[in-house]
Amino acid sequence: MTDSPIFRRHRQTKIVATVGPASSAPDQLRRLLLTGVDVFRLNFSHGTQENHGEVLARIRALEAEFDRPIGVIADLQGPKLRIGSFAEGAVALRSGRVIRFDLDPAPGNEDRVCLPHPEVIEAMTVGSTLLLDDGKVRIRVIEKGPDFLLGEIVAGTRLSNNKGFNVPDVMLPLSPLTPKDRRDMEFALDQGVEWIALSFVQRPEDVVEARGLIGDRAAIMLKIEKPAAIQHLDELIELADALMVARGDLGVEMPAEDVPSLQKNMIQKARDAGRPVIVATQMLESMIGSPSPTRAEVSDVATAVYDGTDAVMLSAETAAGAYPVEAVAIMDRIVARVESDALYRSIMDSQHPGLGRTTADAITHSANQAARAVSAKAIVTYTESGSTTLRAARERPPMPILAISIHDTTARRLALSYGVHTVHVTKGISSFGEMVPEAMRIAQDYGIAGIGDRLAITAGVPFGRTGSTNTLRIVYLEPEPQ
């Protein structure tokens, strides 16, 4: 046991940081953890499996050093749709001109370019939109053949080699798992990551396919970045274990003004379903090269917290930026400031999810109410699968949730969830009677509660049966008898 402040976060919303060249060294990872990172993201769009394996080993060493479960997300690249190259490296564009997209791999010019995805050409229809270079170039399809498209340039002035493209209004017949993704996923599962994040999800079948490959070796996180996914949102949430609101891609494929309301809607739906949700992309983007964020970025992070997200995420800011530790520190301060606002608490309480119909739901709801009534310092859950703790996090209580689990994987997964302080115990607890003094001891050891404080403890009897939460006890931490 150490006295490092890492043991106690004085905020409920979690911080996810992406690891990259700016943050992969052991001392940098340690600084990020101490500054406020709760979960690390490995982005398989960049780096090698060997790199990611080394980083994961360093994270596990930090976990052992600080006796704190740390979640790790393996974020798969997904299909990358890109055009071919140009003979001159780039071409000038002009609104109203027509450009041909075909399967010919020869370098392109102002009149044509290779689009090496026959399945995309087949799926497109006259009137469909093609967005290139993150939406900087907009093309409207005016003619389609068996192996080509003719598109009228609607907006954009320049297009260069191998730019990515998006198709916002067509359901593409593509699996979210490319051969590269399958190799990366198998590697990540063998290494023991807690979360697999799926890119390019469009429909429920995509999740079913991934679940068949992953089984129970990791939890599945869906990156909601395609308009098609929005149409199936309720089904996707039901199938997933967590959600990531990938606002960057959504903002390219949908009108930008639609994204804020979608963010709120997705957070609320995920919370109602008891699924952790991350708000991601461009949160403190200017800090890639600046030691301080813009006021708009601060407001953006704050809005996600006011919306009730479980976690906020840093991408290039920590992966490749010049100020990774400073970005985490500022995000930590923004989150803490919002959570100290009385308006924040009133929003969390007013957006309370509906009460579930199970005994476990009723007990968890009662624990939240009882903990508030007696000013308990924490709600304590002993959990096998994490389901009891996720129910507690769904309530968005004002006090921390102390989650105790004998399974290290469960403890690490819960590190992503709102307000949850996870503790992995190596010795099994066989009865509620054993759990109560153990919970009191752990709460004191970790600085969550002290003598004279109360805890609200939930568990299932018979003890240790997954999903059987049916007992609530309020305990008072008394001084040791002299």
C-alpha to C-alpha distance for 445 and 260, rounded to whole angstroms: 41
What the block records as the tokens of 385 is: 């699968």
Contact of 127 with 144, CB cutoff 8 Å: no
Upper half-sphere CA count for residue 459 (Cβ side, 13 Å): 25
- List residues with catalytic annotation: 41, 82, 223, 281
Contact of 286 with 329, CB cutoff 8 Å: no
Residue 456's contacts (CB-CB under 8 Å, 6 or more residues apart) are 367, 370, 371, 374, 376, 378, 379, 380, 472, 473, 474
The CA–CA distances, whole Å, from 93 to 101, 166, 272 equal: 14, 18, 47
* Residue whose pair of structure tokens reads 């809607």 in the numeric block: 265
The CB-based long-range contact list for 350-355 (8 Å cut-off, 24+ gap) reads 351/268, 351/271, 351/308, 352/395, 352/396, 353/271, 353/272, 353/394, 353/395, 354/272
Helix ranges, 289-400 (H): 295-306, 316-319, 324-339, 342-350, 359-373, 387-394
DSSP 352: P
* Residue whose pair of structure tokens reads 């010919």 in the numeric block: 104
Whether residue 173 is preceded by a cis peptide bond, meaning omega within 30 degrees of 0, is no
